[in-house]
Amino acid sequence: MQERRLPLIGEPAPEFRAQTTHGPIDFPKDLKGKWVVFFSHPADFTPVCTTEFVSFAKRYPEFKALNAELVGLSVDHVYAHIKWVEWIKEKLGVEIPFPIVADTTGKIAELYGMIQPGESSVATVRAVFIISPNGIIRAILYYPLTVGRSTDEILRALKAIQVSLEKGVAIPANWPNNELVGDEVIVPPPGDLKAAQARLEEAKQGKLKCYDWWFCHRKL
């Protein structure tokens, strides 16, 4: 039997059909034209997962503003998902506005590599897939069961990927609060000597800011 490899950045997101708390989903076809943050959590009715879902829910308008939808998943049954969502609303006053996939067979989790070797249970780890509107995986993040994710970082990564693809630039560390270039973006380095010399001339003319020809940056 051929071993299944994990999906990679730049590849199409694996397709599946499943039941969610918002009804059936044909993924990612039903979300074509939107960015998707597809993420797994170990289990319903667990403390760290509850904090994550509250965080995602509170920042949901920010994801929507970036033309993005959230889709959660665990190997719990849809009935457990529904009851957990009700509990969060009743006890914590937070409504979960996005669907949660019920992957009771674990096939979707296997498809996306969400159940990692070496874990003490069959629960899904905290995986995150950022998928572009044409269904291509643009970023993958994995966290262990014991560590909750930073929703702010996922938002930052989503926005950075969108800017990079739209503007043809690279995004520095901690953007938009980088220690060297602030909120500016990196201009991809030139590919030959002539272009490198032209890059330095652009810097002299004030069109770019450069530490050297291979490290130039500009405002968006």
Which residue numbers are catalytic? 49
Ordered alpha helix ranges (H), the chain: 47-58, 60-65, 78-92, 107-111, 151-167, 193-204
What is the distance between the terminal CA atoms of the chain, rounded to a whole angstrom?
50
Instruction: Convert 91-113 to b/e letters by CB count within 10 Å (16 or more is b).
Output: eeebebebbbbbbeeeebbebbb
CA distance 144 to 215: 35
| Angle at which helices 47-58 and 151-167 cross, to 10° | 50
